[in-house]
Structures are given as structure tokens and as C-alpha cells.
């Protein structure tokens, strides 16, 4: 059975951190440092309008010689980020992340952000699923069909 985004969020929790487009890049970086995370979502009220990542900072602030206290998140964020719903599978999300070179994908249901999944979440989920499959196969081979 494939692990869904819903199951991943139930295990890790739906916590996410967000800033407004008008917040400074410095404020976004401070929040990212405080929670040891690689991105923040950018929201306008309850609406997801973008995502701001460490990669955005490195490529759009540092390399261009900008000052993070003077630049607004809305000027540098990735607008209208790709999102996933609760029914997406870990394999599908991992394939999207790999193909599009994303490390973070917001989870949105009915227009509302309910969490975020990361490449680390996907790897953990897939490894856990493979470990379960291996144990089931070992039990089957050993003749212990009741083991899970």
C-alpha cells in the first residue's frame, strides 16, 4: 500500500511557517533560522502566494549583492508554487520533486494550506515503506504469515 501525503502529515504534523510578501528577506531568514527550516511559505491572509527558500536567498540576494533587510520577500519569492493534495502518494511527490528539483512542496486542500512536505519526509516515508515490505517478505519466506 502506498503512503499518502495525508499519512505523512499525520505522522509529522501540519506545522508550517509563513511570512507576508511585504516582510523583509531578513525577517524570513530569521524565521528560518529560528526553526531550522529551509523555506517559508508566503501568504497573503489565508492565501498561499509563494514560497521563499534558502536557494532563493543564495541566488537572488547574495549573488546580486542585495541587502536582505532592504528587500521584500514578495520581490524574490517563487510565486504560485506547485502544491500537492492529501491524496498524493509519496512516490508521486518524490517523482515531482526529482523532476522539478523541488525540496519543499506545500500541501493545500480546498484552497487552504494545511502543511508542507519536504524531500526528507519523502525519503523517510519511502524507506519506511520498503522496510515494511522487506519484513513482510521475510515473514512470508519464514512461513510466519501472521507477522506484520
Q: Is residue 148 part of a domain?
A: no
Q: What is the rounded distance in angstroms from the CA atom of residue 21 to the CA atom of residue 16?
A: 16
Q: Identify the pLDDT of residue 82.
A: 96
Q: Is residue 147 part of a domain?
A: no
106, 48 Cβ separation under 8 angstroms: yes
For the range 33-39, what are the long-range contacts, defined as Cβ-Cβ under 8 Å and sequence gap of 24 or more? 38/103, 38/104, 38/118, 39/103, 39/104, 39/116
**Parent domain of 51:** 5-142
Q: Identify the pLDDT of residue 14.
A: 86
Q: How many C-beta atoms lie closer than 10 Å to residue 85's C-beta?
A: 13
Q: Is residue 55 part of a domain?
A: yes
For 67-78, b/e burial (b = at least 16 CB within 10 A) is ebeebbbbebbb
Q: Identify the pLDDT of residue 57.
A: 92
* CATH code assigned at 77: 3.10.580.10
Element (H, E) at 55: helix 54-57
- The residues of the chain scoring below 50 in pLDDT are none
Q: What is the rounded distance in angstroms from the CA atom of residue 44 to the CA atom of residue 65?
A: 27
Q: Is residue 111 part of a domain?
A: yes
Q: Identify the pLDDT of residue 2.
A: 82
List, in order, residues 6 or more apart from 37 with CB less than 8 Å away: 17, 31
Structurally, the chain folds into a number of domains equal to 1
Q: Identify the pLDDT of residue 135.
A: 87
Q: Is residue 35 part of a domain?
A: yes
42, 52 Cβ separation under 8 angstroms: yes
Q: Identify the pLDDT of residue 128.
A: 82
Amino acid at each position: 500500500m502506498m503512503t499518502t501525503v495525508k499519512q505523512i502529515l499525520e505522522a509529522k504534523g501540519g506545522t508550517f511557517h509563513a511570512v507576508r510578501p511585504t516582510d523583509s528577506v531578513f525577517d524570513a531568514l530569521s524565521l528560518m533560522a529560528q526553526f531550522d527550516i529551509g523555506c517559508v511559505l508566503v501568504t497573503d491572509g489565508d492565501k498561499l502566494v509563494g514560497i521563499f527558500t534558502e536557494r532563493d536567498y543564495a541566488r537572488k540576494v547574495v549573488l546580486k549583492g542585495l541587502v536582505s533587510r532592504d528587500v521584500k520577500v514578495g520581490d524574490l519569492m517563487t510565486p504560485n508554487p506547485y502544491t500537492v493534495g492529501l491524496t498524493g502518494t509519496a512516490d508521486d511527490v518524490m517523482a515531482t520533486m526529482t523532476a522539478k528539483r523541488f525540496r519543499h512542496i506545500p500541501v493545500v486542500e480546498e484552497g487552504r494550506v494545511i502543511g508542507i512536505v519536504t524531500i526528507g519526509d519523502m525519503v523517510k516515508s519511502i524507506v519506511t515503506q520498503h522496510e515494511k515490505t522487506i519484513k513482510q517478505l521475510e515473514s512470508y519466506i519464514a512461513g510466519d504469515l501472521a507477522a506484520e
